[in-house]
Amino acid sequence: AAQNLGRAFPEVEKAMEIQIRSVSHFYGSTEVLKDISIDIPMGKIACVVGPSGCGKSTLLRFIGGLEKPTRGSVVQVGKPPEDSLNPLTYIFQDFALLPWRTVKGNISLVLEDHDIKGDVAQSIIDDVLARTNLSDFENALPKQLSGGMKQRVAIARALVVKPAVMLMDEPLSALDAQTRELLIDDLVSLWTRQPFTAVYVTHNLAEAVRLGHKVLVLSRRPGSIREVIEIDTPLEVRATKTVQLEEVQKNLWDLMRDEARAADKELING
């Protein structure tokens, strides 16, 4: 999996670009994705939106190498940073924290897999704790943390492997609106300090227009590209550009409305 919001990207040029070419996929006789071709540029966040069941998470699994598409290819172009432990790293919506390990313990787990211990590990952990505002919580257990804090730990754990690409599957969907806003601000702050490459799957159009440099709109199943929307407004000022972003969000919903209704009917009818 993949991800980096700072130290993993000393220079954007050392990140990787993802090239998706003519990807189609079937589960049995059911076609879930159809002829997807798009580039995810280095140092940019690409958000993927679309109706329920259109194949967003499936596409993310192909990018992460967890599955192979029936047809087409996903190619990583360029090299990860020299100190990258995992070129691709995931962040999931359910946090995936070990309940018996502290914040520090959850973060150190991935370093242990690479036999990084002692002072070296502590230095890396201290860095990501500081960047994710968790320094005061390193000895807390997950049960002592709010949902937003748990997701912050998941972000820190991803950062610690210094990935080249971050893959985020509905990372904020389980959180309340206020917590989502705070974590969006955190992600923007991390990206602003050191740009990273990311693919961000979401149902939330407001998240897509706040975080995406490129928004990929998929049709209902089989998911195909309806439109790719580029958003040039800098991430760090989008919180104050509400009128412009609301217009982009409205345009996205106009693209998706009818297909979302049709997708819901298909899901209900089986």
For residues 223 and 38, give the distance between their C-alpha atoms in angstroms, rounded to a whole number.
13
Average pLDDT over residues 90-118: 89
Q: Are strands 45-49 and 225-230 parallel, antiparallel or unpaired?
A: unpaired
Helix (H) or strand (E) holding 263: helix 242-269
Count the neighbouring beta carbons within 10 Å of the beta carbon of residue 225: 17
Give the pTM.
0.85
Quote the mean pLDDT of the chain. Answer: 85
- Look at residue 210 and give its three-state secondary structure: helix
How many percent of the chain have pLDDT more than 90? 42
For residues 204 and 225, give the distance between their C-alpha atoms in angstroms, rounded to a whole number.
18
| Pair 190, 4: CB distance under 8 Å | no
Task: Evaluate if residue 117 carries a pLDDT over 70.
Answer: yes
Average pLDDT over residues 136-141: 94
User: Of the ranges 60-74, 106-120, 175-189, 234-248, which one carries the lowest mean pLDDT score?
Assistant: 234-248
Q: Given pLDDT bands bounded at 50, 70 and 90, which one contains residue 93?
A: confident
- The per-residue pLDDT for range 21-51, each reduced to its tens digit, is 999 999 999 999 999 999 998 889 999 999 9
Average pLDDT over residues 116-133: 90
For residues 173 and 127, give the distance between their C-alpha atoms in angstroms, rounded to a whole number.
27
Average pLDDT over residues 184-196: 86
State the sign of the Cα–Cα–Cα–Cα dihedral 204, 221, 231, 193.
Answer: positive
CA dihedral 252, 254, 259, 260 (to 10 degrees): 70
Closest CA to 266 of 52, 41, 17, 1: 52
For residues 94 and 7, give the distance between their C-alpha atoms in angstroms, rounded to a whole number.
25
DSSP state of 220: S
Q: Given pLDDT bands bounded at 50, 70 and 90, which one contains residue 15?
A: low
In degrees and rounded to multiples of 5, residue 224 shows phi and psi of -130, 165
Q: What is the pLDDT of residue 198?
A: 93
Q: What is the pLDDT of residue 266?
A: 62
